[in-house]
Structure 1
Amino acid sequence: MSLPRIGVVVVTMGTRPRELEALLASVEKQDVAAERVVLVGNATPLTDVATDATKVPLTDNLGCPGGRNVALRLLRDAGDVDVVVELDDDGLLVADDVFRTVRRLFAEDPRLGIVGFRVADEHGHTERRWVPRPGAADPMRGGEVTGFLGGGHGLSMPMLRQIGLWPGEFFFGHEESDLAWRALDAGWRILYEPDLVLQHPRTSPARHAGHYRFTARNRVWLARRRLPAALVPVHLGVWIVLTTLRTRSPGSLRAWWGGFFEGLRTPCGPRRPMRWRTVWRMTRLGRPPIL
């Protein structure tokens, strides 16, 4: 059995230097070495980061998916990795066999496209929103799923060559869904593996500037790009109801609606809707693409 070569991608804005140092140290201590580690600086020169990783400082902030695409193109063109592990710059690998497990999982299943890590805080607690299945009460139950968390995951390079990279225009929010839906529609599997742990502080996604605007805009873009026409209004209608019920702040709700209408009136990129058999596959896995 051929063992895949591992590459690592980390994108940073240089605002969390201690966390980044700890993350890079946890990558270095893995008992299976990465072929290459690429550190991308979104609008940061990376001059203060001491590391053997390949540094790619960017003048502009391309957002997380745009920054990751820069590293993925570098690794893809070099041709020296088969699986890419992408990690948030404030995450931490608490075990030293993470890459070994990732390598084994991809070696055992040639149609495995994405492996999602379990995200847990410093006390080992995994929030329900961090588990990629609806109503997930047990974060330790792994298996095949329809999505993954962007904070820690492994991506098949052959899959990326087939379906393309991250939707860089999203900048922040729902880029994981766009990538996951394309992977599923191309016949790849997505696995949630709770034994692969990324320690991550418990934070609110609303801490990011523009969260409500980007979340709404990108959800509309996602539906317009990837769903069969009949499901677009259903998906958006469900999320209008859920957002209205969940959002307590009038200011946040105004920002969300602003992003929603921005998503309707602005170009969303090429429309390539998933096949109905992919809709059925997602439904059988517990998450039809209206949720």
Structure 2
Amino acid sequence: MRVAVVIVTYNSADVLDGCLRSLAEGARGVELAAVVVADNASADDCLAIAKQATELPMITVQLGRNAGYAAAINAAVDTLDLDELDAVYVINPDCRLVPGSIAPLAESLRTPHRGIAAPYMVNPDGSLQPSLRRTPTVGRAVVEAIIGGDLAGRLGKLGELVTNPREYERPGAFAWATGAAMLLSVPAMREIGPWDESFFLYSEETEYCLRAADLGWLTWYEPASVIEHIGGDSGTNPALAALLIVNKVKLFRRRRGRLAGAVYYLAVLLGEGARALAGRKISKVSFAALLRPSRVMTAS
């Protein structure tokens, strides 16, 4: 299969080189037709590093501003001739591909109705990095507010985040997966359309997978494909954590309407409020952001 890789960068020079060096071996078993690095006006050497990777079929795109993750993906895809491709692998610059890891994902997309394929994601120490999600619901938001997302994800299907390691042992369909690494089939991309740029960062992959499902395209998890993800700052950066929470509520309200959206909002608000009272700094910032979402970062 003919596959292009899309990497969105923003001040990612410290991790980009390692990502690029892993691509040739990671693409063993498929044809690596193009590598597109779409840069959101980084202040570091991202584009220079990309241009030095002359062993790859490299394309670079400079957006000229920090336009967000979805906008950069769309700009990257616009440079590709989809008629010449079977799939596009969207990955973060802090990912490292295991040799031969694209091929199982590509093979899984040969089955009808599978439009998105997600790999088994690990931390740098080799441990599981939970990356799969169930459909967002009011009930799951309430449960996660009461007992926390990690525990809820281990108890049957109570939580949105899948945290039970046993559920990562076999392939299957899930509502959505983290946008750090997902292979998109070209037929699905044509029908789903561009990524939603109204989400500057976070929830754009949720929206994309749920919109795909609306059209009959499955998000398929394939554990035979392994990728290492160093991980972003949302778990430690209060501003990014707040943006994640606000966008999560925004997407739910948009898809489910005002009434369900209001209940979902209250559940998330109460959960973050309880954790803020317990002294969690990130929850304090997220709680404040939920009360005044217009003040949350949407661009920089």
Superposition TM-score tier, normalisation by shorter sequence: 0.7 to 0.9
Offset at 1:87? Answer: 1.0
**Could you report, residue by residue, the CA deviation over 1:144-182 in whole angstroms, capped at 9, with x for unpaired residues?**
111101111111222222222222221111112111111
Task: Report the equivalent of 2:179.
Answer: 150
Task: Report the equivalent of 2:79.
Answer: 74
Task: Report the equivalent of 1:141.
Answer: 170
Q: TM-score of the superposition, structure 1-length normalised?
A: 0.78
Superposition pairs of residues 1-291 of structure 1, within 5 angstroms = 4-17=1-14, 19-29=15-25, 30-31=27-28, 32-44=30-42, 46-49=47-50, 50-51=52-53, 52=56, 53-75=58-80, 78-94=82-98, 96-107=99-110, 109-127=111-129, 129-133=130-134, 134-135=153-154, 136-138=163-165, 139-201=168-230, 204-208=233-237, 210-247=239-276, 248-249=278-279, 252-263=282-293
Offset at 1:43? Answer: 0.5
Distance 1:172 1:190, change over 3 A: same
Q: CA RMSD in A?
A: 2.7
Using the aligned pairs only, state the percent identity: 25
Mapped partners of 1:137, 1:254: distance in 2: 28
**Could you report, residue by residue, the CA deviation over 1:75-129 in whole angstroms, capped at 9, with x for unpaired residues?**
2x553222111111011012x222221221112x1211111112101221013x4
Q: Any conservation in 2 of the 1:42–1:63 contact (CA below 8 Å)?
A: yes
Distance 1:36 1:15, change over 3 A: closer
Q: Any conservation in 2 of the 1:220–1:264 contact (CA below 8 Å)?
A: no
Report the number of matched residues: 259
2:84 match: secondary structure:
coil
Distance 1:142 1:245, change over 3 A: farther
Q: Any conservation in 2 of the 1:86–1:153 contact (CA below 8 Å)?
A: yes
Runs of 4+ in 1 over 4 A off after TM superposition: 247-251, 261-266
Where does structure 1 lack aligned partners over 5 or more consecutive residues? 267-291
The aligned amino acid for 2:226 is: V
Q: 66-75 or 234-243: which moved more?
A: 234-243
Q: TM-score of the superposition, structure 2-length normalised?
A: 0.76
Offset at 1:69? Answer: 1.5
Offset at 1:249? Answer: 4.6
Q: Any conservation in 1 of the 2:123–2:229 contact (CA below 8 Å)?
A: yes
